[in-house]
């Protein structure tokens, strides 16, 4: 059963982000730490009591496409969506003007972790709907906003994102779906694949955001427009009209997230409405994609947290052998290697959460503030979103794999449910832009384009925090600070190398994924070092749960000695490893 990581989230909000100071800075005094905690606790009840019990059911009994093209979702999912909507959760991020609750992103990011940790397939429907609300609020006309956002905020309608076609995956410039103008609307014709929650029976209507080309559009990505295409047409009074000319051809059979229907959709002269201007669609859709990329990174954290919970529960229950210097009958958590495994998993998951919430706070500042403060926050968020998407999702594969290992042979058996987490996690480094795409974004647009200025500003902030921890007078934060300072030096060495080879883009591209992971490990260490400093302060003041704070110190120590040393290896791989990779001729790899 899924449990809300309430204490760790509250610790991050209060002691690492300064939640009340943050909300005052944002002009959101209405949202106190106590209120945020109450929201999280209530969300945790729904996640644990309703969504989590359906997770394995959905995996074993995935959605079915009916002969008429409708899709019947897994048992219990439609009722769960009704309960989810009745409690107001779809309205979290929408603006108040459109019936939303307009919660700070720092809060909604933490709440979204719960949905995905409890039931990632279910959470995907909410993720895509929130992303579409975000895109429409930013780019749609007032009439479009009034028509489509309130029903999605109520949960009566859901949203999707339609980019991919059989011949156009990463290369969106190759898409062929057509949009022909007919008076005040367009007729959309083409086929889209990999459409998450593209057809289902949980909501009254499904609103598709579809990329397509008008007849006279320029070639490539410059000729892409985006259209609202509802499953059911909407009358002027907001009621539903005739079914639109689109249908679900099939539902994909997948490795994981089986309860999330991944549809192949055929548009056969479907009525759609242009969002924004013609040929500006990719820019609009990227707004939704950027929101989704952060959310997918949060999925990596969420499924890692669930894996830690399952691994720890099993390790406390399973008795096998007598632990070294232990006694007969003690569970396997007392074996040093199992203690190492679960301890490393917990430390890394805590680091993931801290970095995710840090970036969410920057996104809030970019949204609510003005001038240089907003610009600086936007730059920091832009730098770290590909890290969130890349590092958190790649590491979720390792964490879920380690959780299978803790279970031993039982981990390979579907009955325990841990194998499902391992399978579900595998999509995360792929969809919404593969790790390679995040790497190219980070290294070319976010690192080399500004001469490394944004990264060096980040490193300067980390080093300043390390300096302050060094002066704490307590040995553990001081040791963490020393580890962090050394890691910053390694990151600077890697950055210098990348800048020196900036005129050879193939070398930069070969190093991109390593660079994503390096900054991820570093930011995780930064936040864990800060957490250690705060834990020591609270213990000295006699505040908080002493055992939990000691556990936080232990997690920080594990991170510094078991995870942060990854930077040394990654720096070595970056500084010269690119030449070794590029020396390999593609044809040689086909030789037997």
What ranges do the domains of the chain cover?
A: 447-582
Q: How high is the pLDDT of residue 313?
A: 98
State the Cα–Cα distance between residues 426 and 420, nearest whole angstrom.
10
Q: What is the pLDDT of residue 443?
A: 97
501 Cβ contact list (under 8 Å, min separation 6): 507, 508, 578
What is the structure's pLDDT at 291?
Answer: 84
CA 257 to CA 74: how far, in whole Å?
Answer: 12
Q: Which residues of the chain have pLDDT under 70?
A: none
* Per-residue model confidence (pLDDT) at position 111: 98
User: Residue 276 CA to chain centroid, in angstroms?
Assistant: 27
Annotated catalytic residue within 93, 113, 350, 432: 432
Annotation says 432 is catalytic: yes
What pLDDT does residue 472 have? 83
Which tens digits make up the pLDDT trace of 267-313?
999 999 999 999 999 888 777 778 889 999 999 999 999 999 999 99
d(CA 406, CA 310): 9
Token pair belonging to 68: 């008429």
Q: Quote the pLDDT of residue 493.
A: 98
Q: Find out whether 395 and 520 touch, Cβ atoms under 8 Å.
A: yes
pLDDT of residue 303: 98
Q: How far apart are the first and last CA of the chain?
A: 49
Residue of 400, 242, 402, 287 lying closest to 337 (CA atoms)? 402
């Amino acid at each position: 059963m899924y449990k809300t990581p309430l204490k760790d989230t509250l610790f991050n909000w209060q002691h690492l982000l300064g939640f009340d100071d943050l909300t005052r800075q944002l002009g959101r005094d209405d949202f106190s730490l106590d209120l945020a905690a109450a929201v999280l606790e209530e969300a945790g009840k729904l996640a644990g009591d309703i969504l989590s019990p359906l997770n394995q059911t959905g995996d074993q009994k995935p959605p079915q496409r009916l002969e008429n093209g409708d899709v019947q979702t897994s048992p219990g999912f439609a009722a769960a969506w009704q309960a989810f909507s009745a409690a107001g959760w779809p309205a979290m991020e929408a603006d108040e003007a459109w019936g939303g609750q307009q919660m700070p992103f720092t809060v909604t990011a933490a709440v979204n972790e719960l949905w995905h940790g409890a039931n990632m397939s279910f959470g995907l429907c909410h993720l895509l709907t929130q992303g579409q609300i975000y895109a429409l609020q930013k780019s749609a006309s007032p009439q479009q906003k009034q028509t489509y956002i309130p029903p999605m905020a109520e949960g009566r309608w859901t949203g999707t994102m339609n980019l991919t076609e059989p011949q156009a995956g990463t290369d969106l410039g190759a898409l062929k779906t057509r949009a022909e103008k007919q008076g005040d609307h367009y007729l959309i014709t083409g086929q889209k694949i990999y459409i998450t929650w593209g057809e289902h029976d949980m909501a009254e209507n499904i609103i598709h955001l579809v990329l397509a080309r008008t007849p006279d559009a320029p070639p490539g990505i410059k000729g892409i427009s985006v259209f609202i295409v509802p499953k059911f047409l909407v009358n002027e009074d907001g009621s539903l009209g005739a079914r639109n000319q689109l249908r679900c051809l099939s539902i994909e059979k997948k490795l994981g997230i089986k309860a999330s229907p991944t549809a192949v959709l055929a548009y056969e002269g479907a009525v759609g409405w242009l969002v924004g201007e013609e040929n500006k669609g990719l820019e609009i859709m990227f707004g939704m994609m950027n929101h989704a990329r952060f959310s997918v990174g949060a999925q990596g954290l969420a499924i890692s947290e669930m894996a830690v919970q399952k691994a720890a529960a099993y390790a406390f229950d399973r008795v096998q052998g007598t632990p070294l210097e232990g006694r007969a009958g003690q569970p396997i958590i007392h074996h040093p290697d199992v203690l190492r495994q679960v301890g490393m998993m917990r430390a890394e998951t805590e680091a993931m959460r801290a970095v995710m919430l840090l970036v969410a706070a920057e996104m809030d500042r970019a949204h609510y503030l003005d001038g240089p403060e907003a610009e600086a926050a936007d730059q920091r968020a832009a730098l770290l979103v590909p890290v969130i998407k890349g590092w958190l999702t790649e590491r979720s594969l390792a964490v879920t794999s380690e959780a299978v290992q803790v279970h031993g042979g039982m981990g390979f058996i579907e009955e325990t449910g841990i194998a499902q987490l391992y399978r579900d996690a595998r999509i995360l480094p792929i969809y919404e832009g593969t790790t390679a795409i995040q790497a190219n974004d980070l290294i070319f647009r976010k690192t080399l384009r500004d001469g490394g200025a944004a990264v060096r500003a980040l490193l300067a902030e980390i080093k300043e925090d390390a300096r302050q921890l060094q002066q704490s007078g307590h040995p553990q934060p001081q040791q963490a600070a020393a580890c962090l300072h050394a890691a910053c030096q390694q990151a600077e060495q890697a950055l210098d190398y990348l800048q020196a080879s900036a005129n050879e883009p193939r070398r930069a591209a070969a190093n991109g994924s390593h660079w994503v992971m390096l900054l991820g490990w570093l930011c995780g260490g930064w936040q864990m070092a800060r957490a250690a400093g705060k834990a020591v302060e609270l213990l000295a003041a006699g505040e908080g749960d002493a055992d939990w704070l000691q556990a936080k110190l232990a997690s920080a120590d594990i991170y510094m000695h078991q995870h942060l040393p990854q930077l040394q290896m990654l720096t070595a791989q970056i500084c010269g490893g690119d030449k070794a990779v590029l020396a390999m001729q593609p044809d040689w790899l086909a030789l037997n």
